[in-house]
């Protein structure tokens, strides 16, 4: 019998996502080992007008084994720029060699369709439900260029919380001022009263999500997107928007008015979130403190996060030449 080589009849096939695939896509996200609700099409498609979607599906024979949320700009493919993290989303039962073939098939597909470059924004490992560092290894094999490395401040809640004297003092000030914390279903008070004015004043910027967008996302994901406001004499003085996933509570937005230090509003709020609301999570993720494409760090912001016992993990961004797919040949001995 003639031996069938890997190149004679590839068992892995890649094709572009279409809207007809949405149900299969979403079912796959629910079964993958490294996905969160951000990869659900109801989340990805809220800003579909801003991005030229080029998401991919990978099949082994006829079975869907991986998906790749992505968009295109000219001849560059990005692991979706509208998401905080991305990359290859893998079925929980997929073994290493199949992950290798899946990613190689994506590079071959992109290269054959005229895309010279792939830029990847990797998923921080705390968001994986199972170990899933295959892509990190592939970046090494492919001679990928490290474009950026961000610093995330994360509390491992299983190891206990070591809170600094400064944060405790802030908490006590808030108690003396009788601040009140409420979980709200609406975002308008925080967006219009705190978040937008602060971003305009400090950075001349707007939130990534408009008020209408975050409201729509809340409707789609009521258990994953949660808003907590802090009030002083019935007036909002601060708040935080939390994106909740299986293992992680991520502070997507944190902001307070100019009295935050005097009142201790953000210290008080995060004591409550960490010790009560999300105490059953594995991690509390304050997010990044980086500026200038990862080259600098906001020292005061990092100091505040570390005051709650947060430690550093990193998120990597890579550039890969799609023509380098051959480097993934003959890896297995």
Beta bridge partners of 18: none
The burial of 211, by beta-carbon neighbours within 10 Å (0-12 exposed, 13-18 middle, 19 or more buried), is given as: middle
pLDDT value of residue 203: 85
**pLDDT digit string (tens) for 276-308?**
999 999 999 999 999 999 999 999 999 999 999
| Whether pLDDT at 10 is above 70 | no
**pLDDT digit string (tens) for 306-331?**
999 999 999 999 999 999 999 999 99
Residue 273 is encoded by which pair of tokens? 């979130």
pLDDT value of residue 202: 86
Name the CATH superfamily for 163-308: Gcn5-related N-acetyltransferase (GNAT) (3.40.630.30)
**pLDDT digit string (tens) for 187-236?**
999 999 999 999 999 888 999 999 999 999 999 999 999 999 999 999 99
State how far the alpha carbon of 86 is from the alpha carbons of 35, 95, 99, 119, 272, in Å: 9, 20, 15, 10, 30
pLDDT value of residue 161: 86
The burial of 117, by beta-carbon neighbours within 10 Å (0-12 exposed, 13-18 middle, 19 or more buried), is given as: middle
Alpha helices in the chain (DSSP H): 22-31, 41-44, 96-112, 134-141, 165-176, 188-190, 196-203, 211-220, 260-263, 265-272, 299-306
Beta bridge partners of 318: 120, 146
| Whether pLDDT at 260 is above 60 | yes
pLDDT value of residue 47: 87
**pLDDT digit string (tens) for 15-73?**
999 999 999 999 999 999 999 999 999 999 998 889 999 999 999 999 999 999 999 99
Taking domain 12-149+316-328, whether its CATH number is 3.40.630.30 is answered by yes
Q: Output 10 or 29, whichever has higher pLDDT.
A: 29
**pLDDT digit string (tens) for 137-176?**
999 999 999 999 999 999 999 998 899 999 999 999 999 9
Q: Cα 328–128–67 angle (5° rounding)?
A: 50
pLDDT value of residue 160: 84
**pLDDT digit string (tens) for 87-135?**
999 999 999 999 999 999 999 999 999 999 999 999 999 999 999 999 9
| Whether pLDDT at 4 is above 50 | no
Ranges of CATH 3.40.630.30 domains, the chain: 12-149+316-328, 163-308
β 248-256/117-121 pair status:
unpaired
């Amino acid at each position: 019998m003639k031996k069938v080589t890997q190149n004679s009849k590839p068992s892995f096939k890649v094709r572009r996502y279409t809207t007809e695939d949405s149900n299969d896509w979403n079912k796959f996200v629910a079964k993958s080992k490294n996905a969160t609700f951000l990869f659900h099409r109801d989340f990805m498609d809220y800003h579909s007008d801003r991005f030229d979607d080029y998401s991919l599906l990978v099949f082994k024979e006829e079975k869907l084994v991986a998906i790749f949320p992505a968009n295109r700009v000219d001849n560059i493919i990005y692991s979706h720029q509208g998401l905080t993290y991305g990359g290859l989303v893998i079925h929980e039962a997929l073994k290493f060699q199949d992950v290798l073939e899946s990613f190689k098939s994506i590079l071959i597909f992109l290269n054959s369709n005229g895309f010279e470059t792939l830029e990847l924004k990797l998923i921080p490992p705390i968001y994986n439900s199972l170990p899933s560092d295959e892509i990190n290894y592939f970046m090494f094999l492919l001679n990928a260029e490290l474009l950026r490395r961000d610093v995330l401040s994360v509390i491992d809640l299983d190891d206990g919380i070591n809170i600094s004297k400064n944060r405790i003092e802030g908490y006590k000030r808030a108690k003396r001022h009788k601040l009140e914390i409420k979980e709200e279903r609406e975002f308008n008070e925080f967006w219009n009263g705190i978040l937008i004015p602060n971003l305009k004043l400090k950075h001349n910027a707007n939130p990534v999500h408009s008020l209408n967008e975050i409201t729509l996302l809340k409707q789609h994901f009521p258990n994953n997107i949660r808003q907590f406001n802090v009030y002083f004499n019935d007036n909002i003085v601060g708040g935080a928007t939390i994106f909740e996933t299986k293992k992680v509570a991520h502070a997507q937005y944190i902001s307070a008015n100019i009295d935050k230090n005097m009142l201790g509003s953000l210290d008080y709020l995060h004591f409550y979130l960490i010790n009560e609301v999300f105490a059953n999570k594995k991690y509390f993720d304050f997010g990044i403190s980086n500026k200038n494409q990862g080259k600098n760090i906001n020292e005061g912001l990092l100091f505040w996060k570390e005051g709650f016992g947060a430690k550093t993990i990193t998120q990597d961004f890579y550039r890969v030449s799609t023509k380098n797919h051959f480097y993934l040949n003959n890896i297995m001995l």
